[in-house]
Structure 1
Amino acid sequence: MSDRSAIHTIKGYFYQFDYTILQILNQQNLENRLTLEEIEDLDIEAADETTAVQCKYYEKTEYNHSVIAKPIRLMLKDFIERKRNNSKKVSYKVYGYYKSGQEKLILPINLDFLKSKFLTYEKNKIEHRYHEVLVATDDELVQFISILDVDINAYEYDHQLGLIREKLIEIFGCDSFEAENYYYNNALNEIKKLSVESNVSNRKVSKSEFLIKIDNKQIVFNKWFLKLKGRTEYFKKLRSQFFSSLNTEAFDRFFLIEVNIEKYSRADLIELILIISNKYSKVTRRMPEKFCPFIFISKIDEREILEVKKIMKSSGKRCIDGYEFQGDKFSTNLMLEPISSENPIYFKFLNNSEDLETMLEACSNIVHIYQFYLKEPFFHYNNSSIKHIKIELKEASDIKEII
């Protein structure tokens, strides 16, 4: 698959996720249940009524009846089975965006059109009539048409995203930046997690539950964004939002870095630590407020961490780790000792996740956590007053291009 084709495919997934997010946010009843990928891409339960929605985004494709024929056949099959088994009734919706060709579909759909354009098809040079395979009567087909909604004039990708942003601003009383970088990112991550649950009961969510889950300041950027935006644009976006020259206030910044053990290079890690330290440590006499970053490295054993600290010390970059001597207990007081030009500390090393959590609890200043992970976030810390930015990367060395 070419890079361009891959981007269109990924955009299609994002469009489905965004559609689901918008439907959740638009629910008037906070307790209506929505289910991802049970009957169709999204099932919306309101009171005694359920609507199964098939949602597609064809940015480069002209509309033809054959594009939506198979989904309609599968919906008819579900309808017939439910009717004959006296199962719960469901309404159906086909929702899609197409580059052109919308004028080919004349609504409302009648019985002859349903049969000829959607239920009759050719396979291996043999004509098939799907309604005959299902032994569906005309009355049943007419009933099916009455609960089938076909909308091929769906919102364009960016327009739908804009509607989500507006809705988030309205709900949370936030600005456009917060809507996109806090709440939308959290919403997208939550939908992705729900969609991969194997148990259908775990793929259900109400608006009230959803709003609680996305209402935090933990920002997640992942490889989907990298593929959609492109590597250069993705890194540029992260750099401008979180690591610009303006973002150097005297905060307590925690850099959490996962390294790939199979490709680990001590020299590369030391270079990365020096880059972080040079940008986010201010210890000179002319600086009124002096500060330096906290650094935690995941997947590195204690002996290797010790070697890295020895080299850093020999380079003239003094660091502390909260221990007076080997075998001592971790001390937050040591880690919080004042930095001065006479007592320069260029970074504070955290040896393990326990020390990291203890240190976070002890901080009274504004705290920002920047977690760089390879596949899944490796550290979780629930505190609504702390900005926790989680960024998925291919290699830890990518951090150099971001900050």
Structure 2
Amino acid sequence: MKRTADSTIKGFLYQFNKTIISVVGATAGEIITVEGLVEDIDIEALDGTLKAVQCKYHEAASTFSESLIFKPLLQMAETFSKSTAKTISYRIFVHVPGEAQGERKITAQTLENALATGDQELKKIVARIISPFDKNTFLDNVILDFGPSIDELEQEAMNALRTLGLNDADVDCVLYPNAIHRVAKLSSLKQESDRKITRRIFYDYLSAANATAVSKWVLASRNKKKILEAVRKQLSEGLSQNSRERFFYFQPDAIDNFDDEIVIFVCNYLKKYHTKPSHDKTPLIAIEKDISGINDIQSRLFRKEVKVTTGMVGSNFEITELFREPITKQARGKIREREFDLRLLHTRPTIAPLNYRRSQDLFCVCDSIPTDLDVSDVNVIHLGISSFKELEYVMQLRGTHE
């Protein structure tokens, strides 16, 4: 499963790097659609012509075989057969280890073999192709382009970002992670109109970036170590402030072994950041679970001598109970006892209680920030981190992320 997941992530990352190169290299007036109506990358020029690019990354393939391109080729044939405008040029951008980089034409025989496929899933695409269609004209508009490895393409994307000429920009740890994050975000939007971008819009977005965006896509890159080090450094100033209210929002599916390791993380966090009298802001951890899941975590924390409030009074949730201040006992300048050490919130069925009060910092440990989470006037740190070791590393709780 892990190998399959890694392969899927690399496939998307390959596409995102190619998208960055396409956006930065776009000319004035060209509009790029991420996950376009036609292919992975649609590049529309002022004269109405369209370049449609589909990316495929076959790292595990030992040699190239024509069957590797049957699916994108048939998808392009379907689009061509249904399109009234024949001003679309198609490009299959594919990587196969050991295959020489460069463009090739696709032969008529390869197209016929694809149309005659015995694969049941591909037959569904063939059935949607409107026949007859002009196969020769279609092939005249299709290019097979063998691309470099993912590491080489990543370097090409970084080199492209350098051409933007942003002064004092850290390409490796600021521009590149934010570029990947932006493209990944665009690819996830439902409306096709929202997935459009131009070189100018991309430039403006990156010129405003001053912190590292962390996502599973970025952490799959070869610069993972360097990026995590940069994030750790960026967070250090805020974490060094004792009196600072911090909330956490967790999506358990986004981080490995969540149920097994969340209690350990909470204990480590409290030990470092909530022990002194000057640590006067009670942290809150909101988790995408229902109340039964929160009760289980609360019980496990109790056995670790961590006292928690969940805002529950009997069977009812009372938001004022969740956010009331704990009674504390001090002696000789030290906290002897707190009524509770942590606010623990369930966000199923609704995330609304998390919007009730603004923290200074909101750490979102998730693939994407929910649209119903109000992040206005809050310092949001989006950490698309996949392990607690990485999270504890950037939070200064451990010396290594491995």
Does the pair score TM above 0.5?
Answer: yes
Q: Give me the whole-angstrom Cα distance separating, in 1, the residues matched to 2:186 and 2:90.
A: 21
> What's the counterpart of residue 173 of structure 2?
177
Q: Is the 1:294–1:349 contact (alpha carbons within 8 Å) kept by the matching residues of 2?
A: yes
Deviation at 1:46, TM superposition (A): 1.3
Partners of 2:19 and 2:183 within 8 A in 1: no
Question: Larger deviation: 92-101 or 351-360?
Answer: 351-360
Alpha carbons of 1:375 and 1:52: their partners in 2 closer, same or farther (altered >3 Å)? closer
Cα deviation per residue 1:318-365 (whole Å; 9 max; x = unaligned)? 99999xxx9896999969x9x99736479563769777556536x5xx
Q: Does 1:187 align with 2:182?
A: yes
Q: How does 1:313-392 map to 2 (within 5 A)?
A: 315=305, 342=333, 344=335, 349=343, 357=355, 359-360=357-358, 363=360, 367=361, 369-373=362-366, 377=370, 380-382=373-375, 386-391=379-384
Tell me, which stretches of 5 or more residues in structure 2 are unaligned?
119-125, 312-316, 398-402
In structure 1, the partner of 2:28 is 29
Decide whether the 8 Å contact of 1:66 with 1:118 is kept in 2. Answer: no
2:247 aligned with 1:249: no
Change in Cα spacing, 1:184 to 1:384, as seen in structure 2 (3 Å) is: farther
The answer to whether residue 32 in structure 2 is matched with residue 14 in structure 1 is no
Change (3 A) 1:250 1:15: same
Map residues 185-264 of structure 1 onto 2, 5 A cutoff.
Answer: 185-194=180-189, 197=190, 200-208=192-200, 219-222=213-216, 241-242=231-232, 248-250=239-241, 252=244, 253-257=246-250
Residue aligned with 1:59, SS: coil
Which letter does structure 1 place at the counterpart of 2:64? Y
Q: How many residues align?
A: 356
Q: 1:124 deviation in Å?
A: 7.9
State which drifts further: 93-102 or 246-255. 246-255
1:60 paired to 2:56: no
Quickly say closer, same or farther: Cα 1:91–1:259, change in 2 above 3 A. Answer: closer
Local SS of the residue matching 1:277: helix
Partner of 2:87: 89
Q: Residue 321 and residue 219 in structure 1: after superposition, are their counterparts in 2 closer, same or farther (change >3 A)?
A: farther
Contact 1:68 1:118 in 2 (8 A): no
Q: Quick one: structure 1 residues 147 and 186, their matched pair in 2 at CA, closer, same or farther if it must change by over 3 Å?
A: same
Check 1:39–1:264 CA distance in 2 against 1; reply closer, same or farther (3 A cut): closer
1:163 deviation in Å?
Answer: 3.1
CA distance in 1 between partners of 2:374 and 2:355 (Å): 8
Aligned partners of 2:32 and 2:44 also within 8 Å: yes
1:36, 1:42 within 8 Å by CA — same for their partners in 2?
A: yes
Q: Specify the code of the residue in structure 2 equivalent to 1:151.
A: D
Question: Residue 28 of structure 2 aligns to a residue in which SS?
Answer: coil
Q: Is the 8 A contact 1:283 1:340 kept in 2?
A: no
Q: Choose which of 140, 153, 156 in structure 2 pairs with 1:163.
A: 156
**Change over 3 Å in CA distance of 1:167–1:333 after alignment to 2:** farther
With over 3 angstroms needed to count, the CA separation of the structure-2 counterparts of 1:165 and 1:384, relative to structure 1, is farther
Structure 1 Cα separation of the partners of residues 91 and 321 of structure 2: 59
Cα displacement string for residues 159-215 of structure 1 (whole angstroms, at most 9, x for unaligned residues): 22233334446465431322244x135224313413xx3x54454444455566775
- Please give the alpha-carbon distance, in whole angstroms, between the structure 2 residues aligned to 1:44 and 1:349: 49
Q: Does 1:283 align with 2:276?
A: yes
Supply the RMSD in Å over aligned alpha carbons.
Answer: 5.5
Larger radius of gyration: 1
Partner residue in 2 for 1:149: 143
Measured in 2, the distance between the counterparts of 1:70 and 1:327 equals: 54
Could you list the per-position Cα deviations for residues 54-88 of structure 1 after superposition, in whole angstroms to 9, with x for gaps in the alignment? Answer: 22122233234454466445545544554xxx435
Alignment of 1:68-79 (within 5 A): 68=69, 71-72=72-73, 74-76=75-77, 78-79=79-80
Matched letter for residue 145 of structure 2: D
> What is aligned with 1:39?
38
Q: Is the 8 A contact 1:70 1:118 kept in 2?
A: no
Q: Which residue of 2 aligns with 1:274?
A: 267
In 1: Cα distance, 2:59 partner to 2:258 partner: 41
Task: Give the share of equivalent positions with the same residue, in percent.
Answer: 17
Q: State the secondary structure of the residue aligned to 2:267.
A: helix
Indicate the SS of the match to 1:91: strand
> Separation in 2 of the partners of 1:26 and 1:211?
12
Where 1:99 maps in the other structure, the secondary structure is coil
Cα distance in structure 1, aligned partners of 2:331 and 2:204: 42
Cα separation, 1, equivalents of 2:39 and 2:318 = 58
Secondary structure in structure 1 of the residue aligned to 2:60: strand
CA contact (8 A) 2:355 2:373 kept: no
Task: Tell me, yes or no, if the aligned pair for 2:59 and 2:97 is still in contact at 8 Å.
Answer: yes
**Residues 268 and 300 of structure 1, relative CA distance in 2, 3 Å threshold:** farther
Give the structure 2 partner of residue 295 of structure 1: 284
Distance 1:49 1:392, change over 3 A: same
Q: CA deviation at 1:157?
A: 0.7
Structure 1 residue ranges without an equivalent (≥5): none
Q: Match of 2:96, SS?
A: strand
1:35 and 1:44 in contact (8 A); partners too: no
CA contact (8 A) 1:374 1:393 kept: no
